[in-house]
Chain A
Amino acid sequence: MSSRNDGFVQYYFRDAIGGFFEFPTENARAILPPDLQPIEPHHGSSVLSVMAFDFHQSPVGEYGELILSILVSPRIEQGQPWPRSAFYPFRLGTTTRESREHAIERWHLPHYMQDISIAWERGDGHITIHATDRGQSIVDMTVTEHEWSNVEHRYQAFMNDDEGAYSSTIVMQGQFSENEEERGGIQIHSQAMTDLLEDWEVDVTPFRELWMKNGKQTFHPLQQLASYARR
């Protein structure tokens, strides 16, 4: 184990929304490194997490981000706070080149290499995003609100690239709403950013919807791992 970066990096956002969607475990395993295990809420079903951020302040300015991840089993460390969930982000899209280069260099996150556009529609009790690339639809997702509370949640992210395997703790602070009312929805379009999901059977209704407002995302220093199985 070695520390790659020393600093904590903070990103401030107006809205961050997410949906958890069941999709086949065989498809999740095709994306995941072999020693990361998908969370299976149901036999044969894993969880696709689709998240979108509307950042207004960051080391690379204002930008939007769309993240496709798979929920995986966290690594619990004795004496440390436990992550609420763990993710393996397998495809990110951003609205600016600077934010993309920053995330690739600093966090080794796998990116779709075009600038995408994310349109936010803030409605009464719900919020919708339309992610596109040069007019071509990528993802449309709606998340609904529930009870709001101020929270600080800790998550764990696993990344890998040609240089190795990594993890980082991510702390999210802000006004938070979460529900399992199954009122939201998603449409994933056949497009280069979603090509790993083409012809796959992703549920169109999220079993969990998350929404955070006026929040801060803090990346803890990146950890380089010998493997995902050991730290």
Chain B
Amino acid sequence: MATRVEAQTSMSVSDYDYSSFFYSSSDDPFAILEPYNEWYTRAVQQGYYLFAQAMSTPPQGWVHLTEGLHHRHVKLLNLSSYNYLGLSYRPEVIAAAKAALDQYGLGAAGSPILSGTMDVHVQLEEAIARFKRKEAAMVFPTGYSTNVGMISGLMRPGDWVIADQNAHASIVDGAILSKANVQFFRHNSPAHLEKKLRSTTGKKLVAIEGVYSMDGDVCPLPELVEVAKKYGARIMLDEAHSAFLYGEHGRGVAEKFGLEDEVDIHIGTFSKALGGQGGYVAGSKNLYNYLKGFARSRVFSCALSPVVTAGVLRSLEIAQAEPELRTKLWENVQHIRKALEDEGVDVGDSTSQIIPIMVRNDRRIFELCHQLFRAGLYLQPVIYPAVAKHRSRFRVSISASHTFDQLDEGVSILVRVLREEGILV
């Protein structure tokens, strides 16, 4: 192998990441700010960490955004947004939100337990409970606060929260906030879950997801439920990326596996398939009443905006009334998956509308991202801490609103760039 002689005595920004800047050696908490800013500024200048690039259009097939390196306005083919059913910009949804704006004004102006609950919130909670076939559902202002509030509201010091290793940060943070003992089992491994459960005593909550947001794979729910039940653990299933999509009626992975009653706590969000914002917990009325007092992320937040709430309510109605949206989504998923597999692209273990394009190189992924931008494709790099340090990837998100032509063009650009850069042989 050729030896490349290159003096590298100065700092290479790619040698560092967020984990390098947790601690300073000073008593001043601000002492870390300047070194971090020095690294971050240089990283951005060199094309790393170009996140939060502002979009000026709805999250549809083609988007306009201002790219972060040269601040140019560009039009890109969008394979990055959730909006799985294309509902965020449906005229009926927009009309419902506009009507709510006229009726309620912009915000809820209060905590849901004080003055922030409006009749539209009650309607959405009741609609979700009916949809999920549960006694009750509680609406939270964000998906993050849903998991944080649910777990920290229910679990206590000395209890056990046992989560999948790929669980979302909101599950991890909720568990930490609860001060319960936290354990992680290997991703989608019932055997490893059993090993963890076997060594615990007391109250146990197993936290899993229907579809994992970074890998796009589905949890082996029957096997996990069997193990959890064997050890008397309660089961919390986060269907942020599977509710309204999976199952005959779209109720999620629990419906797909026929295990809706075996799952104790059903979590979901409104920001993915429904194209809005917020989250929900669905379960028993007793759970609802308890969380009303103890889910502090909800108690001490302003209620979800009635404008968004009304839009989400309309999205939910459409999702239920138009199963052909799910059909179109799965046709799209099948279409792009075949195209990617035909080209030999590594898509990990995904079987869902989330398709990781595995790069497995934390440093090169940003260069690839720029190449994709230049070629007209909007894909976001996903790196640590969203995924493990050595599991960097692009995440393709498919929507029912994509056309086959758009998907084919996206695959064409992606494959060309991956080949040019030597990722795809």
A78 and B34: CB pair below 8 A? yes
**Residue A61 is within 8 A (CB to CB) of chain B in the complex:** no
Known A44-B184, A84-B15: A77·B25 in contact at CB below 8 Å: yes
**Residue B165 is within 8 A (CB to CB) of chain A in the complex:** yes
**Residue B32 is within 8 A (CB to CB) of chain A in the complex:** yes
The complex places the Cα of A84 from the Cα of B1 at a distance, in Å, of 25
Select from chain A the residue with minimum beta-carbon distance to B384: A41
Q: Which residues of A contact B172 (CB under 8 A)?
A: 43
Known A43-B167, A145-B1: A180·B26 in contact at CB below 8 Å: no
**Residue A73 is within 8 A (CB to CB) of chain B in the complex:** yes
Which A residues between 100 and 152 are near B, CB-CB below 8 angstroms? 125, 145-152
A78 and B31: CB pair below 8 A? yes
Q: Which residues of A contact B21 (CB under 8 A)?
A: 76
**Residue B39 is within 8 A (CB to CB) of chain A in the complex:** yes
For chain B, which range describes its interface: under 10, 10 to 19, 20 to 34, or 35 or more residues?
A: 35 or more
Pick the contact of B20: A74, A147, A150, A182 (CB < 8 A).
A74
A175 and B22: CB pair below 8 A? no
**Residue B19 is within 8 A (CB to CB) of chain A in the complex:** yes
**Residue B56 is within 8 A (CB to CB) of chain A in the complex:** no
The complex places the Cα of A37 from the Cα of B360 at a distance, in Å, of 25
B34 and A82: CB pair below 8 A? no
A69 CB, min distance to chain B CBs, angstroms: 16
B165 and A42: CB pair below 8 A? yes
Chain B 267-286, CB-CB to A under 8 Å as 1, else 0, gives: 00000000000000000000
Known A41-B390, A76-B25: A149·B8 in contact at CB below 8 Å: yes
The complex places the Cα of A37 from the Cα of B20 at a distance, in Å, of 12
Which B residues between 154 and 177 are near A, CB-CB below 8 angstroms? 163, 165-167, 172
Pick the contact of B165: A45, A149, A152, A230 (CB < 8 A).
A45
Chain B 88-111, CB-CB to A under 8 Å as 1, else 0, gives: 000000000000000000000000
**Residue A16 is within 8 A (CB to CB) of chain B in the complex:** no
Select from chain A the residue with minimum beta-carbon distance to B35: A76
**Residue B16 is within 8 A (CB to CB) of chain A in the complex:** yes
**Residue A207 is within 8 A (CB to CB) of chain B in the complex:** yes
Pick the contact of B3: A78, A148, A180, A230 (CB < 8 A).
A148
The complex places the Cα of A78 from the Cα of B8 at a distance, in Å, of 21
A73 and B388: CB pair below 8 A? no
A151 and B388: CB pair below 8 A? no
A207 and B25: CB pair below 8 A? no
B183 and A44: CB pair below 8 A? yes
**Residue B341 is within 8 A (CB to CB) of chain A in the complex:** no
Select from chain A the residue with minimum beta-carbon distance to B30: A78
A75 and B39: CB pair below 8 A? no
Q: Which residues of B contact A83 (CB under 8 A)?
A: 20
B183 CB, min distance to chain A CBs, angstroms: 7
The complex places the Cα of A76 from the Cα of B32 at a distance, in Å, of 7
B1 and A74: CB pair below 8 A? no
B361 and A76: CB pair below 8 A? no
B15 and A149: CB pair below 8 A? no
B194 CB, min distance to chain A CBs, angstroms: 14
**Residue A208 is within 8 A (CB to CB) of chain B in the complex:** yes
Which B residues between 132 and 183 are near A, CB-CB below 8 angstroms? 163, 165-167, 172, 182-183
Q: Which residues of B contact A153 (CB under 8 A)?
A: 15
Most buried by B among A41, A42, A84, A125: A42
Pick the contact of A230: B9, B25, B35 (CB < 8 A).
B25
The complex places the Cα of A231 from the Cα of B1 at a distance, in Å, of 43
Q: Which residues of A contact B388 (CB under 8 A)?
A: 41-42, 45, 207
**Residue B52 is within 8 A (CB to CB) of chain A in the complex:** no
Q: Which residues of B contact A34 (CB under 8 A)?
A: none
**Residue A198 is within 8 A (CB to CB) of chain B in the complex:** no
Pick the contact of B390: A76, A77, A125, A180 (CB < 8 A).
A180
Which A residues between 59 and 88 are near B, CB-CB below 8 angstroms? 73-78, 81-84
The complex places the Cα of A151 from the Cα of B26 at a distance, in Å, of 29
B11 and A76: CB pair below 8 A? no
Chain B 1-21, CB-CB to A under 8 Å as 1, else 0, gives: 111111111010001100111
Q: Which residues of B contact A149 (CB under 8 A)?
A: 3-6, 8
The complex places the Cα of A149 from the Cα of B9 at a distance, in Å, of 11
Question: Given A41-B384, A151-B8, A207-B388, list of 14 further CB < 8 A pairs?
Answer: A43-B163, A43-B167, A45-B388, A73-B20, A75-B24, A76-B36, A77-B25, A125-B1, A146-B1, A149-B6, A150-B6, A152-B8, A175-B3, A207-B389
A-B contact pairs, 22 of them (CB 8 A): A26-B183, A37-B23, A41-B389, A43-B165, A44-B182, A73-B23, A74-B23, A75-B25, A76-B31, A76-B32, A76-B35, A82-B11, A82-B20, A84-B15, A145-B1, A146-B1, A150-B8, A151-B8, A151-B9, A153-B15, A207-B389, A207-B390
Interface, chain A (partner B; CB < 8 A)? 26, 37, 39, 41-45, 73-78, 81-84, 125, 145-153, 175, 180, 182, 207-208, 230-231
Nearest 3 CB-CB pairings of A with B: A44-B184, A41-B389, A207-B390
